[in-house]
Chains A and B, each alone.
Chain A
Amino acid sequence: MVAGLIAVAGLVPEAKAIELTGSLGVEARAFVDDAQFSEQHAENGSVVVQPELYHDWSDGDQSILFSPFFRWDQGDDERTHFDIRELRWLMVSGSVELRIGLQRVFWGVTETQHLVDILNQTDLVENVDGEDKLGQPMVRVDWVQDWGTVALFALPGFRERTFPGAEGRLRFPVVIDTDNARFESDAAEKHVDFAARWSRFIGAFDVGLSHFHGTSRDPRFLLGEPVAGQPRLVPYYDQIDQTSADIQMTAGGWLWKLEALHRSGQGRTFNAISGGFEYTLVGIFERAWDVGLLSEYHYDDRLEDAPTPLEDDIFVGARLALNDVQSTTLLVGAILDVQSDGTAFFAEASRRVGDRWTVSVEARAIAGTESNDPLHALRTDDFFQLELLRYF
Chain B
Amino acid sequence: MKFQLSRMLLRTPLVSIALVSTTLMLATPNVFAVVEEGRSAQENGLAVAQEVDARDVGFQDFRANLTMTLKNRHGEESVREIRSRNYEMTEDGDKSLVIFDSPRDVKGTAFLTFSHKDGDDDQWLYLPALKRVKRIASSNKSGPFMGSEFAYEDISSQEVEEYTYKFLRTEEMDGLECHVIERYPQDKKSGYTRQVVWYDTQHYRPMKTEFYDRKEALLKTLLFEGYQQYAGKYWRADVMAMENHQTGKSTRLEWRDYEFQVGLEEDDFSKNSLARAR
Residues of chain A touching chain B, judged by Cβ–Cβ distance below 8 Å, are 1, 3-5, 7-9, 11, 21, 23, 54, 56, 60, 63, 90, 92, 95, 97, 104-106, 109, 131, 142, 144, 149, 199, 201, 206, 248, 250, 252-255, 280, 282-283, 288, 290, 323-327, 352, 355-356, 358, 389, 391-392
Contacts and interface: CB of A to CB of B under 8 A. Distances in A.
Query: What interface size band does chain B fall in?
Result: 35 or more
Given A4-B265, A7-B263, A248-B135, 20 more contacts: A21-B104, A106-B130, A106-B132, A106-B133, A109-B134, A142-B272, A144-B270, A144-B272, A149-B272, A199-B271, A250-B122, A250-B135, A250-B137, A252-B137, A283-B143, A323-B143, A323-B147, A325-B72, A352-B105, A356-B104
Given A8-B85, A63-B278, A290-B143, A391 B104 contact: yes
B267 A144 contact: yes
A201 B105 CA distance: 29
A355 B272 contact: no
A283 B190 CA distance: 11
B135 A392 contact: no
B140 A290 contact: yes
Contacts of A23: 104-105
B130 A325 contact: no
B273 interface: yes
Given A4-B263, A4-B265, A355-B104, A97 B139 contact: no
Contact of A252 (B122, B135, B139): B139
A122 B80 CA distance: 33
Nearest to A11: B83
B265 A253 contact: no
Nearest to B101: A21
Contacts of B122: 201, 250
B105 A97 contact: no
Contacts of B143: 282-283, 288, 290, 323
A97 B144 contact: no
A8 B268 contact: yes
Contacts of A255: 135-137
25 contacts: A4-B268, A5-B267, A7-B262, A7-B264, A9-B276, A21-B107, A23-B104, A90-B276, A92-B276, A97-B272, A104-B131, A149-B271, A250-B136, A250-B137, A252-B120, A252-B137, A280-B139, A283-B142, A283-B191, A324-B147, A325-B78, A327-B146, A355-B102, A355-B104, A389-B105
B103 A253 contact: no
B243 to A, nearest CB: 16
